[in-house]
């Protein structure tokens, strides 16, 4: 193999343009063998007593080169794929993940880790935390079980993998089994031109005349939101709620089986239930606590929720007369959209001219520079994977290089969808007293420039850029000496705090003034337009929140209170009935008896763990970001001292301390959900 394989020699200036698909497998085989040897040596009984450095630090570093190379391959496959690269990635990925998941099951390593834990070595707080987390991680993977227990756990995992895959396939197949073709143009009444064009294109692709609609997200949402024909909306709604709930794609039995297996797994490992197993390493710590959090939010949302539902009925009466019935489940989105248009008259397109991409990015950097005391410097001429990519350095106030990153904002055929941040290399303080710079990337699929004009973004797209940049700062500003605890390697319900908090600056006039300017006239957003945008933000916010809370509550209830017996007693039926009855309280309309949306809830059941017991995290993180931003509100949204505090107590700390302690250090108290309620317009502030 050539010695100059760039995947074997990664440093902070990655030569993206020199990496070829043919180098992937040779490099990863070398790195896998290297990591394997290191792990074997670590697992062997040593001649001298083990220390933290010889065991834990060595374990932390053992897989670094392998993981960095794999991250880079995965990254390139995501932004500049080719059939060769995809094949190489598909070949490498299972080998690497199999190796990584074998580590906590290695008996020699488990013994080694326990020896260090039992030792009397003087350790720093970060070292103690890493040691404890390593011990816990091994335990949670079954390191402490006897052979029979390990065998049983293995059987549970194998079955879970198999049936959660089947669950996903059933959802996909039953979604694809539905189509609805309209051939009479009059029946399209109500739909916006974009949805009609998409349906036309869809029909053409299938060699059909007319307009073809499906249960896929955009098509389904367009029908439910806009189509005037209520009978057709009902047909779509019922079909969607029955997805994967009947033969030949029936998931109802699989849901029960997945819950049973997860419960067995939790019991084997010594937990009361699956939620406690999953949440032990999260900020919420226990299932019951996460559930309590959701019920508490629901109690503050329900009055407004009922009010919104009464308003919608009144709106319908105004349109159709006093005898019009309450909106059915398939009517809610339709009337809500009509009401939104009448009340708010806010068109997202109106603000685009104020958000040219280069200006938004410059403004965002300026805000981060003054808040966090850093400098972001563009580095033209770096090796990149596409001409559209920009490279930057992040420097500390004294000029020290903290990290480099690359931005890649527009769609391409060779790039996957969505927006994301990825860590390509995790740096931090080095043993010699120096500092190893981080490397990260931020990607999106934002509106492209047309002609000579810059790309003009929607406000939501501006939020997306700020969001991913927040993740990037969490990565690039990390000063954690332990790689596994650095940057964004934090609890799942904490990781969105640095990203979501950045979105707040997209709503503050003071901050908007720095970057929201008309791309031709340089005028700021007219105050009336900004006010309309802010008002539209809270439209039916209680309904949106109740829906999320309902999903989170069903998720936790199923994973906490799982006893086939108990829910049968409560509902006299199956898990499908149980889920429907629970969801009913969070729905603005009656759920029909055949409603079985739990059968297509892929978030919860599409892989052995998936988001099972974790759906609440969305709301949890929103509470954190709204409340943390409250300190900026109180002290000045551009106050550099507050910014420095956020940098020192959150952005630099990764998982080196308990996130609850980090939060308290920044905010001076426990998180308070009132800031979120206020942001959603669910709180009248008189009481405070």
Q: Which residues have a catalytic role annotated?
A: 468
Smallest gap from Cβ 680 to Zn ion, in A, equals 19
| Residue 464 interacts with Zn ion (CB under 5 A): yes or no | no
Q: What residues numbered 479-508 form the site for Zn ion, per CB under 5 A?
A: 499
Whichever of 223 and 473 has its CB closer to Zn ion, that residue is 473
CA dist., res. 352 & res. 529, Å (int): 12
Q: What is the largest CA-CA distance in the chain?
A: 88
Whichever of 170 and 478 has its CB closer to Zn ion, that residue is 478
Smallest gap from Cβ 421 to Zn ion, in A, equals 7
Smallest gap from Cβ 471 to Zn ion, in A, equals 6
CB neighbours (10 Å) of residue 26? 15
Q: What residues numbered 381-400 form the site for Zn ion, per CB under 5 A?
A: none
Answer for the pair 632, 639: CB distance below 8 angstroms, yes or no: yes
Whichever of 220 and 405 has its CB closer to Zn ion, that residue is 405
Smallest gap from Cβ 385 to Zn ion, in A, equals 22
Q: Give the residue at shortest CB distance from Zn ion.
A: 499
Helix (H) / strand (E) containing 364: helix 357-372
In the structure encoding, which two tokens stand for residue 422, read together?
């990825």
Answer for the pair 401, 35: CB distance below 8 angstroms, yes or no: no
Helix (H) / strand (E) containing 213: strand 211-213
Smallest gap from Cβ 624 to Zn ion, in A, equals 13
Smallest gap from Cβ 502 to Zn ion, in A, equals 10
Answer for the pair 600, 301: CB distance below 8 angstroms, yes or no: no
Which residues neighbour 373 within 8 Å (Cβ) at sequence distance 6 or greater? 396, 397, 640, 643, 644, 647
Which of these, 407, 415, 384, 468, lies nearest to 79 by C-alpha position? 415
Whichever of 241 and 501 has its CB closer to Zn ion, that residue is 501
Whichever of 468 and 627 has its CB closer to Zn ion, that residue is 468
Whichever of 63 and 499 has its CB closer to Zn ion, that residue is 499
Whichever of 359 and 499 has its CB closer to Zn ion, that residue is 499
Answer for the pair 23, 7: CB distance below 8 angstroms, yes or no: yes
Residue ranges in 516-616 assigned as alpha helix (H) = 527-537, 541-560, 564-571, 575-584, 602-605
Smallest gap from Cβ 247 to Zn ion, in A, equals 38
CA dist., res. 537 & res. 307, Å (int): 17
Helix (H) / strand (E) containing 439: strand 438-443
Q: Please, which residues bridge with residue 404 across strands? A: 393, 439
CA dist., res. 42 & res. 608, Å (int): 30
Whichever of 99 and 618 has its CB closer to Zn ion, that residue is 618
Q: What is the DSSP letter of 356?
A: B
Answer for the pair 169, 606: CB distance below 8 angstroms, yes or no: no
Which of these, 227, 175, 212, lies nearest to 331 by C-alpha position? 227
Whichever of 68 and 468 has its CB closer to Zn ion, that residue is 468
Q: Are strands 420-425 and 428-429 parallel, antiparallel or unpaired?
A: unpaired
Smallest gap from Cβ 499 to Zn ion, in A, equals 4
Residue tagged 């603000």 (tokens)? 351
Please count the residues of this chain forming the interface with Zn ion, following the rule CB under 5 A: 1
Angle between helices 83-102 and 21-43 (to 10 degrees): 10
CA dist., res. 408 & res. 445, Å (int): 8
CB neighbours (10 Å) of residue 574? 18
Whichever of 499 and 504 has its CB closer to Zn ion, that residue is 499
Answer for the pair 407, 421: CB distance below 8 angstroms, yes or no: no
Smallest gap from Cβ 496 to Zn ion, in A, equals 5
What binding mask, one character per residue, do residues 519-558 give for Zn ion by CB under 5 A, x or -?
----------------------------------------
Q: What residues numbered 266-285 form the site for Zn ion, per CB under 5 A?
A: none
Smallest gap from Cβ 420 to Zn ion, in A, equals 8
Burial (0-12, 13-18, 19+ Cβ within 10 Å), 24: buried
| Distance from chain centroid for Cα 592 | 31
Answer for the pair 52, 125: CB distance below 8 angstroms, yes or no: no
List residues near Zn ion by CB under 5 A. Answer: 499
């Amino acid at each position: 193999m050539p010695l100059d394989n760039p995947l074997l020699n990664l440093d902070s200036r990655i030569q993206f343009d020199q990496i070829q698909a043919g180098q992937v497998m040779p490099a990863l085989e070398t790195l896998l063998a290297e990591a394997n040897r290191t792990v074997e040596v670590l697992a062997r009984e040593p001649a001298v007593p083990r220390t933290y450095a010889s065991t834990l630090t060595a374990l932390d570093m053992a897989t670094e080169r392998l993981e960095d190379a794999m991250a880079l391959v995965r990254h390139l496959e995501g932004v500049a794929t080719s059939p060769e690269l995809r094949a190489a990635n598909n070949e490498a990925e299972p080998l690497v993940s199999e190796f990584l998941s074998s580590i906590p099951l290695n008996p020699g390593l488990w013994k080694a880790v326990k020896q260090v834990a039992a030792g009397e070595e003087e350790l720093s707080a970060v070292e103690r935390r890493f040691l404890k987390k390593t011990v816990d991680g091994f335990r949670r993977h079954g390191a402490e079980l006897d052979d029979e227990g390990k065998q049983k756990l293995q059987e549970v995992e194998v079955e879970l993998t198999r049936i959660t895959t089947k669950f996903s396939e059933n959802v996909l197949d039953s979604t694809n089994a539905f189509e609805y073709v309209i051939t009479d143009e009059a029946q399209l009444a109500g739909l916006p031109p974009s949805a009609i064009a998409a349906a036309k294109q869809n029909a053409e692709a299938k060699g059909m005349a007319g307009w073809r609609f499906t249960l896929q997200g955009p098509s389904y949402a367009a029908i439910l939101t806009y189509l005037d024909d209520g009978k057709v909306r009902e047909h779509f709604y019922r079909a969607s709620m029955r997805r994967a709930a009947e033969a030949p794609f029936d998931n109802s039995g699989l849901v029960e089986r997945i819950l049973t297996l997860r419960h067995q797994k939790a019991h084997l490992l010594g937990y009361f239930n699956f939620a406690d197993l999953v949440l032990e390493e999260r900020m919420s710590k226990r299932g019951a606590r996460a559930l309590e959090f959701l019920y508490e939010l629901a109690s503050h949302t329900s009055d407004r929720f009922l009010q919104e539902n009464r308003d919608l009925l009144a709106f319908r009466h105004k349109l159709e007369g006093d005898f019009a019935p309450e909106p059915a489940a398939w009517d809610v989105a339709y009337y809500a959209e009509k009401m939104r248009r009448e009340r708010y008259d806010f068109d997202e397109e109106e603000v685009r001219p104020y958000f040219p991409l280069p200006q938004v990015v410059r403004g965002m950097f300026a805000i981060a520079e003054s808040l966090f005391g850093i400098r972001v410097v563009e580095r033209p001429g770096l090796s990149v994977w596409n001409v559209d990519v920009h490279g930057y350095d992040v420097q500390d106030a004294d000029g020290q290089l903290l990290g480099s990153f690359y931005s890649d904002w527009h769609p391409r055929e060779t790039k996957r969808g969505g927006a994301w941040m990825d860590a390509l290399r995790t740096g931090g303080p080095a043993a010699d007293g120096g500092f190893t710079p981080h490397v990260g990337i931020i990607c999106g699929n934002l509106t492209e420039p047309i002609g000579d004009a810059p790309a003009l973004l929607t406000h939501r797209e501006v939020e997306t850029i700020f969001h991913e940049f927040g993740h990037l700062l969490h990565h690039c500003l990390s000063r954690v000496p332990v790689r596994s605890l650095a940057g964004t390697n934090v609890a799942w319900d904490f990781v969105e705090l640095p990203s979501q908090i950045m979105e707040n600056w997209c709503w503050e006039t003071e901050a908007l003034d720095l970057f929201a300017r008309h791309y031709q006239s340089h005028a700021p957003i007219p105050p009336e337009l900004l006010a309309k945008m802010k008002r539209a933000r809270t439209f039916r916010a209680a309904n949106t929140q109740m829906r999320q809370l309902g999903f989170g509550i069903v998720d936790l209830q199923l994973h906490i209170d799982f006893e086939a017996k108990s829910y049968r007693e409560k509902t006299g039926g199956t898990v499908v009935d149980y889920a429907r009855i629970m969801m009913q309280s969070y729905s603005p309309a009656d759920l029909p008896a055949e409603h079985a949306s739990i059968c297509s809830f892929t978030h919860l059941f599409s892989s052995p763990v998936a988001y099972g017991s974790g759906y609440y995290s969305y709301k949890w993180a929103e509470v954190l970001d709204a409340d943390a931003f409250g300190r900026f509100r109180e002290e000045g949204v551009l106050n550099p001292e507050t910014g420095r505090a956020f940098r020192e107590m959150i952005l630099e700390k990764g998982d080196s301390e308990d996130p609850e302690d980090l939060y308290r250090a920044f905010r001076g108290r426990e998180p308070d959900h009132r800031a979120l309620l206020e942001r959603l317009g669910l709180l009248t502030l008189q009481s405070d």
